[in-house]
């Protein structure tokens, strides 16, 4: 019963709709669940709801060998090599799990080439449209993989594909502001600072609070444009709103995919 409650929480985090407007979206909640699971995986002697993690991993061995069961088994497996083998086998049994497995490699293991392989495999199942993974367009996740691999040109293309598909379906005001931030980072890396500023302005419109994340990256763009006064103002505002948002109980940092910490803002201000 207790384990069923845990999986219910994880499922709720995964399938809840990813709305653009709230400060903390479904993807953030799922990241929290995954982070908790990973912590227990690295501390196998700890107790989860009174149940030993190793005992739960063994319990999965008695369940039918379906793709979903193997994936869940992998998330409770303390040995990484065994967990990866289980993830790979799960996609052989159920190709739709390429989506979830790719996301797991991206978030949990930071294995970007392997994440990209599985996300492409999932996307290829329906080549005529941009799939959603219940939290974001698959193209957006592919863009994150490319960016972390240092390929900002492909990252920008994938980010644009995901953003454009959402704009067509729902309108620009319903695109998660963090998607615009991600594309702005790649635009900046390619020296396309004007386009980066347009995206950061769009992000500002779709964010319901004053965002240190957006302000920090505006400062970086201003630096790239040779505008130190504007950069300093943006970093100063980022610092102010970081502290103000903390006082209001708004989650900081805002985005685990685009991690900006208070120390990053302080370092930028020193320069």
Where is pLDDT greater, at 24 or 217?
217
pLDDT for 235 beyond 70: yes
Strand pairing of 47-48 and 51-52?
A: antiparallel
Domain membership of residue 171 as a residue range: 99-175
| φ, ψ for residue 232, nearest 5 deg | -60, -40
Q: Is 89 in the same domain as 106?
A: no
| Residue 183 binned pLDDT confidence (cut-offs 50, 70, 90) | very high
Q: What is the mean pLDDT of residues 114-137?
A: 82
The arithmetic mean of pLDDT across residues 22-50, rounded, is 43
Listed residues 175, 209, 232: the one ending a domain: 175
Least Cα distance to 204 among 191, 221, 189 occurs for 221
Q: Which of 186, 185, 180 is nearest to 154 (CA)?
A: 186
Alpha carbon dihedral 152, 157, 160, 161, in 10-degree steps, equals: -140
Q: Is residue 197 part of a domain?
A: yes
Is residue 30 predicted with pLDDT exceeding 60?
A: no
Give the lowest-confidence range in 16-30, 61-75, 186-200, 255-269. Answer: 16-30
Look at residue 164 and tell me if it is in a domain: yes
Which residue shows structure tokens 């040109």?
A: 153
Q: Which of 93-107, 165-179, 221-235 is modeled with the greatest confidence? A: 221-235
Residue 28 lies in a domain: no
Res. 6: pLDDT tops 60: no
b/e map 41-74, b = 16+ CB within 10 Å: beeeeeebeeeebeebbeebeeeeeebebbbbbb
User: Helices 138-148 and 112-124 sit at what angle, rounded to 10 degrees?
Assistant: 150
Q: Output 68 or 27, whichever has higher pLDDT.
A: 68
In a domain, 207, yes or no: yes
Confidence bin at 75 (pLDDT 50/70/90): confident
For range 120-149, the mean pLDDT? 85
pLDDT band, very low/low/confident/very high, at 271 (cuts 50, 70, 90): confident
- Does residue 201 share a domain with residue 170? no
The answer to whether residue 6 sits within a structural domain is: no
Indicate if 89 and 103 belong to the same structural domain.
no
Query: Which of 37, 64, 93 is the endpoint of a domain?
Result: 93
Higher local confidence (pLDDT), 156 or 96: 156
Mean pLDDT of 224-235: 97
Report d(CA 41, CA 76) in Å as an integer. 6
Domain count, the chain: 3
87 and 108 in a single domain? The answer is no
Please check whether residues 62 and 108 belong to one and the same domain.
no
């Amino acid at each position: 019963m207790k384990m069923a409650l845990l999986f219910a929480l994880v499922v709720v985090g995964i399938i809840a709709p990813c709305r653009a407007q709230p400060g903390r979206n479904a993807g953030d909640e799922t990241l929290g669940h995954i982070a908790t699971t990973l912590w227990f995986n690295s501390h196998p002697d700890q107790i989860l709801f009174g149940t030993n993690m190793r005992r739960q991993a063994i319990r999965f061995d008695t369940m039918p060998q379906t793709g979903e069961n193997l994936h869940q088994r992998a998330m409770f497996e303390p040995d990484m090599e065994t967990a990866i083998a289980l993830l790979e086998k799960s996609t052989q049994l159920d190709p739709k799990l390429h989506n979830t497995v790719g996301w797991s490699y991206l978030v949990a293991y930071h294995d970007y080439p392997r994440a990209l392989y599985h996300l492409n495999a999932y996307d290829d199942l329906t080549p005529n449209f941009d799939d959603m993974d219940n939290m974001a367009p698959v193209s957006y996740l592919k863009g994150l993989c490319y960016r972390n691999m240092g390929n900002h040109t492909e990252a920008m293309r994938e980010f644009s594909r995901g953003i454009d598909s959402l704009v067509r379906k729902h309108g620009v005001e319903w695109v998660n502001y963090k998607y615009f931030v991600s594309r702005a980072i790649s635009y900046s890396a390619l020296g396309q600072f004007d386009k980066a500023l347009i995206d950061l302005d769009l992000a500002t419109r779709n964010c319901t609070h004053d965002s240190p994340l957006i302000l920090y990256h505006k400062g970086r763009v201003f630096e790239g444009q040779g505008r130190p006064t504007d950069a300093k103002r943006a970093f100063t505002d980022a610092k102010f709103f970081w502290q103000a948002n903390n006082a209001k109980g708004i989650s900081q940092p805002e985005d685990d995919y685009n991690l900006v910490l208070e120390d990053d803002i302080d370092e930028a201000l020193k320069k």
